[in-house]
Amino acid sequence: MHLLEPRANSSQLMRWAGPPIAILLTLLAASALFAILDKPPLQAFYVFFIEPLETANGWSELALKASPLILIAQGLALGFRARVYNIGAEGQLLMGAVFASGVAIYTDGLNAWWILPMMILAGALGGALWGSLSAWLKTHFNADETLTTLMLTYVATYVLSYLVSGPWRDPGGTNFPQSIMFGESAMFEPLFDGLRLNSSIFITIVAVPLFWLFVSRSFRAYQLAVGGLAPAAARYAGFSARSGVWISLVISGLTAGLAGAMEAAGPVGQLTLSLSPGYGYAAIIVAWVGRLHPIGIVLSGLLLALIYLGGEAAQVSMQLPSAISWLFQGMLLFFLLGVDVFVDYRFRRRRDKRLMSSEEGANA
Amino acid sequence: MIDSIIPILVATLAAATPLIFAGLGELVAEKSGVINLGVEGMMLIGAVAGFAGALSWGTSVGLMFGAVAGALAALPFAFLTLSLGANQSASGLATTIFGIGLSAFIGQFFVSQGLPGMKPYAIPLLSSIPLLGPVFFTQTPVVYLAYLLYAMLAWMLAKTRWGLILRAVGESPEAAHAIGYPVLAIRYGAVCFGGAMAGLGGAYLSTIYTPLWVQNMVAGRGWISVALVVFAAWKPTRLMLGACLFGGMTILQLQAQGFGVAVPSQLLSAIPYVATILVLMVISRDRKKLQLNLPASLGKPFVPGE
């Protein structure tokens, strides 16, 4: 069972090759799954990874899905570096959507330029507030943020459910639990005629270099990372662990909340129960597969968006349930975690074993 | 008055049962030094496997299917964290995400199918004890299985050599290894036992409690079970109490909806999750006390021979 031995130096090659190998292994496992289901793997891969990119609409959808994933993952990665495990970005996203939708609903009928900017601000605020709740619970009560962020996600789901089936339900609509459709001034502008891609993508385009600058240039980010890697050293240097928790959770909450506003005022156009297809959870995988690096996250965000798109396409043309994209996400994370071990370890070699046993024999 | 309380208490125990199974399983895994955040996913896999089994061969077979499927679902986690020494939090999370996907994928075939469930069985003599009898001993047999599991675990952990070895592995794997105990094999066993119990808890939900398959039907109970282990300070008796407390919270919230309390039902539904947070606040506040009960090697990989 002792399969591994430590490397003398961690392998730079494995550090970079890790994600591609994990993707390859996921594809292999996926073909096995397709074979079991009696779907020809090559056709399945075509439907999953090529077909969605053959049309302009496909590329627009890819960007539309990748944008919130990348944005949320940037915030999460900051926390993961500091070993603050916020796994409730889904709840922060929903609260962001709730806050942003509140602005849209109460200004309905107005036609003012400030409505959309207000919604963006409200979304950021909602997500940041929801995240800071967990930060407060962690710093004042030592309550584990993994569990509190997740529990708050369930609470957020019920708050959303209450609002759309009660006070914010569309009075003119059917009995469905959903709000009114937002007016034009409460929506992001489509960038191209007939495509759903909208101007909210600029938020992500601006955020990525900002995060890159923050992570690679700022002393604050350095403090955060040291706090994660060597808490004792961070304490010795006088870096506050408390502020690390606050920064991590407020910023990751803020990006998730922004993504929620982008969804509500973008492709969805109203507040509904099914507002997010699990972006908050998928972003965890995006951050991990992207090596917690701002540029890596862009690449992995595009990949996960493609898995989402492929899942939808496979649902339509191959009658596979869309849950298959969750399955692939789980596999991808499994394989990456497995491959990552080989950055610092390698397989134990048989020769070494014999050497060791002969040494033991000599000692005896 | 008492007549109206008894059904509420009976329902409380029924609602607590999946938490008892999953919580006790996680407790054993954590005692061995491994924290598995995949409980939610393993419960879902157990739930869907249990439903499939029950549909063809009856409820008892379904429950067995659930336990076996849960143990199998724990294997990738065990391999990653034990044989490869991967990060336990991330591997557990991967298990949960994988479990959500796999169960939804398989469960598509079972949507809108129903199961007969399981009839309560009144244990002769015991069930005629006033108040306690009807509450504790007119349940479904699976609830009795939960009592049995609790009694066995409490006894094993406190009184037997097995319990001592498990605790030694969790407190100081190096020392246990030096004495000659197979640390990794014991941890494999503990993690798979945790998976089997989570699977059983999930199967109980889908074959007896609901009994229906609904996507994501575990609805956070796996995560609540993980929180319960912290609440219980890694002690089986406190875990039972905690599970009943949460079971009671679920039932109370349903009762309140039934009585037409002037709070919207969605906000009442959030109560168990808010309660989990409150409990975590109270229990984690005293760092020293928490540290005292925490298995010392929890979450740390063990590589023999380093």
3-state secondary structure of A272: strand
At a CB cut-off of 8 Å and minimum separation 6, what does B273 contact?
A151, A152, A154, A155, A158, B220, B224
Hey, which CATH number is domain A64-319, 1.10.287, 1.10.3470, 1.10.10, 2.60.40?
Answer: 1.10.3470
Do A62 and A52 touch, CB atoms closer than 8 A? Answer: yes
Helix axes A115-141, A89-106, angle to 10 degrees: 140
Give the Cβ contact number of residue A361 at 10 Å: 8
Judged against a pLDDT cut of 50, whether residue A359 lies above it is answered with no
Mutant choice from A341, A342, A343, A352 vs B, greatest count of B C-beta within 10 A: A341
Least confident residue range of A28-32, A75-79, A260-264: A28-32
Judged against a pLDDT cut of 50, whether residue A364 lies above it is answered with no
Q: Which residue of B has its CA nearest to A288?
A: B90
In Å, what is the CA distance from A318 to each residue of A44, A45, A354, B100? 8, 11, 53, 21
Distance CA A6, CA B194 (A): 29
Give the Cβ contact number of residue A8 at 10 Å: 5
Judged against a pLDDT cut of 80, whether residue A352 lies above it is answered with no
Structure tokens at A174: 């059917």
Structure tokens at A32: 């096995």
What is the pLDDT at residue A360?
A: 45
What is the pLDDT at residue A103?
A: 96
In DSSP terms, A346 is beta-bridged to A5
Nearest to B74 by CA among B226, B221, B191, B220: B191
| Bigger pLDDT: A360 vs A75 | A75
DSSP A143-202: --HHHHHHHHHHHHHHHHHHHHHTTTS-TTS-SSSB-PPPPGGGSPPBSSTT---BTTHH
At a CB cut-off of 8 Å and minimum separation 6, what does B231 contact?
B238, B239, B242, B279, B280, B283
Sort out which chain A residues have CB atoms less than 8 A from B281's CB and list them. Answer: 137, 141, 143
Give the Cβ contact number of residue B262 at 10 Å: 5
Residue B301 maps to a domain: no
Do A285 and A119 touch, CB atoms closer than 8 A? Answer: no
Going from the first residue of chain B to its last (306 residues), give the mean pLDDT of each consecutive group of 10, the final group possibly shorter.
Answer: 79 94 97 95 97 93 96 96 89 93 90 84 84 84 94 94 93 90 94 97 95 91 93 92 91 79 83 90 83 86 71
Give the Cβ contact number of residue B254 at 10 Å: 16
Please indicate whether, in this complex, the C-beta atoms of B223 and A151 are within 8 angstroms of each other. Answer: yes
Q: From the list B104, B273, B304, which residue is nearest A154 (CB)?
A: B273
Residue B232 maps to a domain: yes
| Bigger pLDDT: A362 vs A253 | A253
Structure tokens at B32: 């061995």
Judged against a pLDDT cut of 50, whether residue A16 lies above it is answered with yes
Please indicate whether, in this complex, the C-beta atoms of A4 and B303 are within 8 angstroms of each other. Answer: yes
Least confident residue range of A182-196, A334-348, B240-254: A334-348
DSSP A311-322: HHHHHHHH---T
With a pLDDT cut of 90, the percent of chain B lying above it is 60
Distance CA B104, CA A148 (A): 25
Mutant choice from A130, A151, A308 vs B, greatest count of B C-beta within 10 A: A151
Mean pLDDT of A4-8: 78
At a CB cut-off of 8 Å and minimum separation 6, what does A316 contact?
none
Distance CA A104, CA A267 (A): 15
In Å, what is the CA distance from B287 to each residue of A151, A234, B167, B294? 21, 20, 21, 10
Residue A45 banded pLDDT, cuts 50, 70, 90: confident
CA atoms within 13 A on the CB side of A335: 21
Structure tokens at A345: 């370890």
Residue B302 maps to a domain: no
Q: From the list B83, B108, B276, which residue is nearest A321 (CB)?
A: B108
Please indicate whether, in this complex, the C-beta atoms of B97 and A330 are within 8 angstroms of each other. Answer: yes
Please indicate whether, in this complex, the C-beta atoms of B101 and A147 are within 8 angstroms of each other. Answer: no
- The tally of domains found in chain B comes to 1
Sort out which chain A residues have CB atoms less than 8 A from B306's CB and list them. Answer: 6
What is the pLDDT at residue B35?
A: 94
Vertex B197 angle, CA B195 and B201, to 5° = 115
Judged against a pLDDT cut of 50, whether residue A266 lies above it is answered with yes
Q: B215 to chain A nearest CA, in Å? A: 10
With a pLDDT cut of 70, the percent of chain A lying above it is 95
What is the pLDDT at residue A361?
A: 43
| A25 membership: H or E segment, kind and range | helix A12-36
Judged against a pLDDT cut of 90, whether residue A72 lies above it is answered with yes
Work out the burial of residue B292: count CB atoms within 10 Å of its CB; fewer than 13 is exposed, 13-18 middle, 19 or more buried. Answer: exposed
Please indicate whether, in this complex, the C-beta atoms of A155 and B274 are within 8 angstroms of each other. Answer: yes
Sort out which chain B residues have CB atoms less than 8 A from A148's CB and list them. Answer: 277, 280
Nearest to B96 by CA among B4, B261, B221: B221
Distance CA B232, CA B246 (A): 13
Least confident residue range of A97-101, A252-256, A320-324, B55-59: A320-324
In DSSP terms, A6 is beta-bridged to A345
What is the pLDDT at residue A363?
A: 44
Distance CA B193, CA B47 (A): 16
Sort out which chain B residues have CB atoms less than 8 A from A325's CB and list them. Answer: 101
Q: B83 to chain A nearest CA, in Å? A: 6
**CATH for B214:** 1.10.3470
Structure tokens at B190: 């503990």
Mutant choice from A85, A133, A142, A242 vs B, greatest count of B C-beta within 10 A: A142
Sort out which chain A residues have CB atoms less than 8 A from B284's CB and list them. Answer: 141-144
Please indicate whether, in this complex, the C-beta atoms of B102 and A327 are within 8 angstroms of each other. Answer: yes
Distance CA B200, CA B193 (A): 10
In DSSP terms, A190 is beta-bridged to A198
Do A41 and A173 touch, CB atoms closer than 8 A? Answer: no
Give the residue numbers spanning the domain of B237: 2-293
Sort out which chain B residues have CB atoms less than 8 A from A341's CB and list them. Answer: 80, 84-86
Please indicate whether, in this complex, the C-beta atoms of A161 and B85 are within 8 angstroms of each other. Answer: no
Judged against a pLDDT cut of 60, whether residue A281 lies above it is answered with yes
Least confident residue range of A64-68, A74-78, A233-237: A233-237
Judged against a pLDDT cut of 80, whether residue A199 lies above it is answered with yes
Mean pLDDT of A303-315: 88
Q: A325 to chain B nearest CA, in Å? A: 7
Nearest to A88 by CA among A138, A26, A146: A146
Mean pLDDT of A20-41: 88
Give the Cβ contact number of residue A4 at 10 Å: 16
Sort out which chain B residues have CB atoms less than 8 A from A327's CB and list them. Answer: 98, 101-102, 105
Which long-range CB contacts under 8 A does B139-142 form with residues at least 24 apart? B139/B10, B139/B13, B139/B14, B140/B14, B140/B208, B142/B17, B142/B63, B142/B118, B142/B204, B142/B208
- Domain boundaries of chain A, sorted by first residue: 1-39+325-364, 64-319
Judged against a pLDDT cut of 80, whether residue A208 lies above it is answered with yes
What is the pLDDT at residue A1?
A: 47
Dmax over CA atoms of chain A, in Å, equals 88
Judged against a pLDDT cut of 50, whether residue A358 lies above it is answered with no
Please indicate whether, in this complex, the C-beta atoms of B89 and A333 are within 8 angstroms of each other. Answer: no
